[in-house]
Amino acid sequence: MSVNGFPLTGFTFGKVVIVGAGHVGAQCAARMLEANDAMEIVLVDVDEQRAIAQAADLDDLGFGLGSAPIVRAGSWEDVGDAHILVITAGRTRKPGETRYDLLDGTIAIMESICENIERVGFNGILVSISNPVDAVTDYMKRRLNLPRERCFGTGTALDTSRLARLIAWRLNVSRREVQAMCLGAHGEEIFVPVTHTYVGAVPILEYLAMHPADAKHFSLAEIVAENEAKGARIIAGKGSTEFGISGVVSNIVTTIIEDIRRMMTLTVELEGEYGIEGIPCGVPCILGQAGIELVMDIDLNPRERELFDEAVSSIRGTVERGRALMDGASS
């Protein structure tokens, strides 16, 4: 059996392996237990005792929820038949740092992870969370020689969720009525295509024209700036982000297992879309059982295209740094 040419063989359907049993990895497992879609959740960490302890604690959560998935600590051998492999490992961002400051340290960690993945083999779908997500996703894809359909990052999915919530709050409407997206790079280099932003079925500029009182106090630029700064504020206050991104990962896992074909803004290598070749970027994609089933090449107006190109230029520099590190490691 296959989906869009992706054979549903060579792995155990519904088995999710999470590499990294820290705050983010454990929260991802918790959200998956709540969703109750995975068949088995396995935590792998260089600190085996932490993975064992997290799994035991999560098992108690699963019992309380009445969830079916088995949750346990495992080893690299579990990657060999994993359906979905979630990479959360990486250096923690410190207050004052950008995601780009994490590149060298995170790539060094990814190299060790890739060596273990190569040793045991992998036939499933890899989801990368670690920052900077575009460069790290590119590194994993190239280092493991995976197609873009089966190796992608969480991209701007969290930014998109934050954006829709902020717009809804400013306009005093339900979050469910706001259709919006962030493109570009997670965090520092996002941009919002206004022509693809809606309240219900109404374009947001038209909605604001119909509601002049709301328009007086509405600034999309302020919302985008607040969106960009939110992750840094969370890290300054508590040392890490974990809940928001774990919700994104759980949605990804559910979408793949249930074959929902949901639109999400994920990091995927562009192959001619938007006129770009060979650079990963956060763009709208259709996600399903085969992984990335469609990269949506949406129309952008001239100003949006300019902002998109600026984001890609920034991503390109970081990606090229990551590729140089990979070339240095292999020489």
| Whole-number Cα distances in Å, 171 to 175, 176, 181, 231, 297 | 10, 13, 17, 23, 29
Residues of the chain with CATH 3.90.110.10: 157-327
Is the pLDDT reported for residue 230 higher than 90? no
pLDDT value of residue 117: 98
Q: How many helices (H) and strands (E) does the chain have?
A: 10, 16
Residues of the chain with CATH 3.40.50.720: 2-153
Is the pLDDT reported for residue 305 higher than 60? yes
CA 260 to chain centre: 17
Question: Could you say which of 3.55.10.10, 3.40.50.720, 3.40.50.450, 3.20.20.80 is the CATH number of the domain covering 2-153?
Answer: 3.40.50.720
Q: Which residues pair with 6 in a beta bridge?
A: 3
**Local confidence band at 97 (pLDDT 50, 70, 90 cut-offs):** low
Q: For residue 100, which of 320, 300, 330 has the smallest C-alpha distance?
A: 320
pLDDT value of residue 93: 66
Is the pLDDT reported for residue 37 higher than 60? yes
For the 157-327 domain, the top CATH level (class) is: alpha beta
Share above pLDDT 90 across residues of the chain, in percent, rounded to a whole number: 76
Q: Are 150 and 120 in contact (CB under 8 A)?
A: no
Q: What residues are annotated to the active site? A: 186
> Token digits for 174?
């339900």
Provide the Cα torsion 316, 263, 18, 67; round to 10°: 170
pLDDT value of residue 24: 94
pLDDT value of residue 186: 83
Q: Are 224 and 3 in contact (CB under 8 A)?
A: no
